[in-house]
Each structure stands twice: as structure tokens, then as C-alpha cells.
Amino acid sequence: TIIEGRNSRKRRRDDEEKDDGEEYMSLSSYGGKGENGVDEDDAPSLQPPWHKPRKPGASPLTVLHNEILRFCDLISPTQAEEDSRAEVVSDIRALVKKVWPEAELFVYGSTLTGLCLPSSDLDFAVLGVDEPGLKPLHTLADKLRQSGLVNFLEVIDSAKVPIIKVIHSQGQIAADISFNLPDGIHTGWMIRDYCEDFPLLRPLLLLLKYFLSQRELNETYPSGGVGSFLLQIMVVSFLQHRRRSDLARGVASNYNLGAALLDFFDLYGRKFSYPTVGISVRGDGSYFQKHDRRWSYPGKPHLIAVENPINDSIDIGRNAFNVVAVRRAWEHAYLVLVAALCGPMEAFPSILSNVIRVDQVLIQREMPEEPRFTIKLPPPPQPRDRIGTFLKGTTAGGDDLPNSDKRGEQKPPAQHKKRRY
């Protein structure tokens, strides 16, 4: 059973609308010039880089909302970082074309979804190589060694998904390369669709990915944590049910990131019934009983069951064996945030820093003078319809529609749904 704290949620949302102090940073306008810029000179040196002094009377949820946006500014790639990543893509793509002129290198993962963290690797899928088994993997590995493009290379050919792991010699950027596996490209476009449908999704995912990374709970292998794709589907489900609750009560959807983060921690940290309930994001999203799908595993009642929207026979939560630690981390984050939101301004000058530790990565990054994070997704690394040329005879995890949306319906890129917020 999912328990909704509707009265407390209503009080929080009423509070969001009462802001006599700090200016609310609109999601739709964030990323422009002017008053939303951050003056680093205003922040005490002991405060986190994204900190901006709180104004008397400011709604705590508005303060948290604005802090999340400035945090996204801080961790978003700089132009130099984007150029370095583009150089890696160009070098590897050129080498692939030299070896197999008819093949194509596709970029997927966080580069495709627009969810890059400073530590994010590049993910490549080479499609259109008509060679059997592991031969292309070792062929490309040999060419990479000879090229001088990489200073580290490892071939992992015994894994379920064989890959080449490399580190580019110039930018020291890590990359994983696989062959003839389009599934990651499909899921990447699906997440982009969801990001356009739910404006809160991208900033929430960036923050939650960093939250889990700091606690070493962001990898399914070997730590049993919540990996990127599992986290993405959990947040999408949360937003689907949040929207449905708003519609049922006849209230306008609220786009305060502080309230959404608190509700997320509350749901998955305190209220969600992991032993009995499973998650599906197909259509408008739903819950199901785990035992109806035979996804209740003997001796492991705590596992989260999450249907893969590309292939509904796969439970993508099954291998997250350490999800109990993740749930406890989210529960603790909820309690800490409640204390900071309700506490005196002098005791909690930065609300977000109570759940995001200021580590060396954040200290070494410079807060931009003007916001560089926007709700609008960055351009994709390749056109959406390009993959269709290479999918003849493939199934892509049970869905062979290169332009399919998250509901499994064909949707050409030109008809992509646009919303204004």
C-alpha cells in the first residue's frame, strides 16, 4: 500500500506560494541573463559554491528550489568540458569509420539524456558491423592500441554485454564501447521524451545521481545500488503519480523542486512498500502487486520491482540488492531536510548542503557568472531517425521501433510533443 501524506503536502504547497522574500526562479526562464545570476562575492567562504544568502521572509521551499537550480549550474558541463567530450566522440567515430566504412558510432547514456555529471563516462554503441561474435571487439581494440588515441584500454569479453573500456589520452575521459546493441539508444531517447514531458525530471535526476554517487550507492555492480536507468524510472514513476494526484484533486501541478525532492525522499524513503508493490511507467504509470508478476524473490522481500518499459518481462530492480541502504539514505535525507526547512535561518543558511556534501569535485568547480543549466535539453549527439538505418533484423529489447515513444507508439521526431511551463 502506498500512503499519501496529502494534508502535509498541501501545507507545503501553500507555503511555496507565500514568498515575501527570495525571488522564485522559474523553471521555464532559468538559464537566461539577469537577476537569476549568482554573485559569488555574496556567499561566505565556508558555504557551498551554490550558496546565496537567504533573504528574511523567504519561503524555505523556494530557497531549496533555487539552491537546486544553482547546484545544477555548478555541475553542468562547461564549454571546455563539452569540447573535450566532443573531441573523444570525433576521434573514436573517425577510427570506427576507417575500420568499417558502413558502420556508425552512436552516443547514448548520459550524453544522450542530458544527465552528465562531472564524472560521467561516454557510452558508445557501434552498429552496422557484420562480423561474428567477439571479433569486432578485438579488432577495434587492436586499432585503438595502434592509434595512440587512448592511454588505457581493457577488453571485457566475458561479460553479459562485452565492451571495450578506454581512457582518451588527451582529455582523460573514460568511455565504454559495445557492438550491435541498440537498446541503450532506445532507452536514451525514451528518457529524453520523459524530460520534455516532466520539467522537474532532469534537475531532480542530476541531484539524485550526485546524492547516490557521494554515498557509493549509484552502481548496481558491484555495490548493489540504484543505477542510472533504475533511478530514472523511479523518478518518472514518482512524477507520474504526483501529476495524477494533482489532477484528481483539481489543483495545478506545482514545479517547486524543493517540494518535489522532499516528496521523493518521503515516498521512497518512508512510504513505499518495497516487499509488495512494483512499478510500471508504461502509459501514464501504475503500480502492481509483485506476486502477480512472480517478482517476489525467496529470501529477498526488500528488493524493488521495476518493470523495464522497453521489455516488460525484465525487472530492472532485481539486481539492486543493496536498495535497503538506498532507502535508508533517502529516509535520512527526508528527516534532515524537514529539520532544515523548519529550523531557524541562522542555523541552516544552506538547506541543500544538508544532503549534498561539499566534496573536492564541487570545490574545484567554479560557479558560473551566468546560469548555464537550462530545462531545455541539450542537442542530441546524433539525429533520432539515424538509428533506423541500422536496425533491420534487430529487436532492441523487444521494441524494434526506432522512433517509438515511451508508450510504444510510433512518433516521428517532427511530431515531438512540446509543452510550455
Sequence ranges of the domains in the chain: 79-185, 193-364
pLDDT of residue 38: 34
Closest by Cα among 95, 85, 156, 150 to 123: 85
The pTM is what? 0.83
Identical fold, 79-185 and 193-364: no
| Phi, psi at 385, each rounded to 5° | -80, -5
Q: How far apart are CA 71 and CA 85, in angstroms?
A: 21
pLDDT tens, N- to C-terminus, the chain (421 residues): 443 333 444 434 444 444 445 666 666 656 543 333 333 343 344 789 999 988 888 899 999 999 999 999 999 999 999 999 999 999 999 999 999 999 999 999 999 999 999 989 999 999 999 988 899 999 999 999 999 999 999 999 988 889 999 999 988 999 999 999 999 999 999 999 999 999 999 999 999 999 999 999 999 988 899 999 999 999 999 999 999 999 988 887 789 999 999 999 999 999 999 999 999 999 999 999 999 999 999 999 999 999 999 999 999 999 999 999 999 999 999 999 999 999 998 889 999 999 999 999 999 999 998 888 988 899 999 998 888 777 654 433 333 333 333 333 333 333 333 332 2
Domain 79-185, CATH? 3.30.460.10
Q: Which residues contact residue 226 at a Cβ distance below 8 angstroms, ignoring those fewer than 6 apart? A: 212, 217, 218, 220, 234, 320, 323, 326
Q: How far apart are CA 164 and CA 121, in angstroms?
A: 13
Q: Which fold has domain 193-364?
A: Poly(a)-polymerase, middle domain (1.10.1410)
Alpha-helical regions (H) of 267-309 = none
* 228: helix, strand or coil: helix
pLDDT of residue 391: 66
139 exposure class (CB count in 10 Å sphere: 0-12, 13-18, 19+): middle
* Cis? peptide before 222, omega within 30° of 0: yes
Closest by Cα among 134, 120, 334, 306 to 209: 120
pLDDT of residue 27: 67
Instruction: Considering only the C-alpha atoms of the chain, give the largest distance between any 2 of them, rounded to a whole number of Å.
Output: 67
Q: How far apart are CA 136 and CA 145, in angstroms?
A: 14
Alpha-helical regions (H) of 296-352 = 323-342
Q: How far apart are CA 57 and CA 31, in angstroms?
A: 25
Count of other CB atoms within 10 angstroms of residue 176: 18
* DSSP structure class, residue 267: I
pLDDT of residue 11: 39
